[in-house]
Chains A and B, each alone.
Chain A
Amino acid sequence: MSDENALETQDEVFEFLKEDDVLEVIHDTLGEFLQSASVEAVYGAPIKDGNTLIIPAAEVLTVMGFGVGAGRGKGFSKETESEEDQSEDISEGVGSGGGGGGRVLSRPAAVIISTPEGVRVEPVVDVTKIGLAALTAAGFMVGMLLRMMNPKNALKDI
């Protein structure tokens, strides 16, 4: 493979990938990723029950990363004797690939309730999450305190 065939710049890679389905997949994935920044991703579909309308609201966190690459090369398919034969036996190959990963985290934050009396927002408290965070923080603090109070780990006087 010669250096002149290498796809070095990002534009070259994307130009090359246009011929492939990879770019379409990337486009779709990015579209879905950017969709998580829309208002519709945060507010759910309104639920109507008589004179009451309920709208769920959630916090959404999306993380995504991907990479693509492409390359092409030329070579002689077999050993040949004359230059004329060489020009006939040149074979060319192209290849492209990509990979990525991501995660979407969603947590209910509040419920909006609309009644004929007015509109009110009821917060959704995730007691389990708060409890686990409190326990972790308390455990860390107790552990650090015990470690600090141990004379072996005493801080040197300045």
Chain B
Amino acid sequence: MPGYIQTETRAGETITMGETKIVPFSKSLRVQIPGWHGGLIWNRPVSLLVVSSDGSEQIIPIVDVTRQALWALLGVSLAVFPLMMLISQRCNKTNRR
């Protein structure tokens, strides 16, 4: 990946609740356009490491349902576009006959 685009996964401070320990993880994307003072940072939660009282470790992913839905909508829109072109082409052919 070029130097002006960086991704990084970071662990936060351990949160203790009783005998359970939770370590949160976040993933950030940094974009620095060459010659431009400033940039863009997109930071989002990714997962949790849960350490139970018996010592067992479990990784729980954090699913962003809203973002998934928005990406799905974008995907559907892009997939439907060539289909619409095909349909309109056929309709126009039928009308000419």
Contact surface of A with B, Cβ cutoff 8 Å: 33-34, 36-43, 46, 48, 51, 53, 55, 57-68, 100, 102, 107, 109-110, 112, 114, 116, 118-121, 123-126, 129-130, 133-134, 137, 140-141, 144-145, 148-149, 151, 154-155, 157
B51-95 vs A, CB cutoff 8 Å, 1 = contact: the mask equals 000000010111111110110011011001100110111011101
User: Whose C-beta in chain B lies nearest to the C-beta of A46?
Assistant: B15
Contact surface of B with A, Cβ cutoff 8 Å: 8, 10-13, 15, 17-18, 20, 22, 24-26, 28, 30, 36-45, 48, 50, 58, 60-67, 69-70, 73-74, 76-77, 80-81, 84-85, 87-89, 91-93, 95
Q: A53-B15, A109-B45, A151-B92 are in contact. Are A43 and B10 (CB under 8 A)?
A: no
List the B side residues contacting A37 at CB < 8 Å.
8, 10, 28, 30, 41, 43
6 contacts between A and B (CB under 8 A): A39-B26, A59-B45, A61-B42, A109-B64, A121-B48, A121-B63
